[in-house]
Amino acid sequence: MSRPDVTLMSALMSPVGRKVLTGVTGIGLVVFVIVHMIGNLSYLLPDPQAYNAYAHKLMSWGWLLYTMEIGLALCFLLHAIVGISIQVRRRKARPTGYKAYKSAGSPSRSGYSARSMILTGIILLGFLILHLNSFKFGPGEAEGYTAILQSGEEVRDLRRLMTEKFQEPLYAFGYPVVMILLGMHMRHGVWSALQSLGMMSRRLSPYLYTFAAVLGALVAIGFLVVPLYIYFSA
């Protein structure tokens, strides 16, 4: 009896394949989030036009930037769809759940951040839509948001837009709350991704779990610094 051919799609849609997909896309999104956070922190540099210069540099990439944005969008959607399907299958297989979360042998990693992955993911998706509408598709040069760089070049004044948005209490305090949820999502997501990609061992597990927790906390702090600084310094 001949063995049926295993297609790439069937392999990716297998239980192991879905975990690998969420792991790969998750790590890709983590890299983007860290780069984006570093870019946001340029707002705090002594040069008041540093953030605008950074944003303009990205826009100057043209088609390469659009290609990356499309790739990020597909990565995000794939990560969300596959991640939700994994959680749904788990709940169908265990509809009543457990009264207590325990682990035989090693310490349990089923903390609140692990059990709330769908909830935090949905909140992050809603936030992303609002964030893009406010900043990427928000007012630009046509609406008078212009700035002059040291080179004399006129660019979109994203720094002014960010300053105005984070002077509003809803943005100033809502944004940090969502960033804390992002940190929680990353805490379990990074550890789970490394596990799915076969980078975990019993000896390394506690260190990588700590690394994921520290990384999630640092990203959350890195993102909430700017809005709180703007709100209280303005």
Q: Could you report the per-residue pLDDT of 49-105, keeping only the tens digit for each?
A: 999 999 999 988 989 999 999 999 999 988 888 888 877 777 776 655 544 444 444
Considering 11-15, 109-113, 166-170, the range whose residues carry the highest mean pLDDT is 166-170
Evaluate whether residue 3 is within a structural domain: no
Cα–Cα distance measured from residue 35 to residue 76, given in angstroms and rounded to the nearest whole number: 16
Evaluate whether residue 78 is within a structural domain: yes
Domain harbouring 55, CATH code? 1.20.1300
- The domain of 216 spans 8-91+111-233
Q: Lowest mean pLDDT: which of 147-151, 197-201, 212-216?
A: 197-201
Backbone angles phi, psi at 154, to 5 degrees: -90, 125
Degrees to nearest 5, angle at CA 116 with 114 and 118: 110
Could you tell me the end-to-end alpha-carbon distance of the chain, in angstroms, rounded to an integer? 74
Evaluate whether residue 173 is within a structural domain: yes
171 confidence band (pLDDT: 50, 70, 90)? very high
pLDDT at 93: 67
Evaluate whether residue 105 is within a structural domain: no
Evaluate whether residue 59 is within a structural domain: yes
pTM for the full predicted model? 0.83
Domain count, the chain: 1
Cα–Cα distance measured from residue 179 to residue 109, given in angstroms and rounded to the nearest whole number: 21
Evaluate whether residue 215 is within a structural domain: yes
pLDDT of residue 139 exceeding 60, the answer is yes
Evaluate whether residue 99 is within a structural domain: no
pLDDT of residue 106 exceeding 50, the answer is no
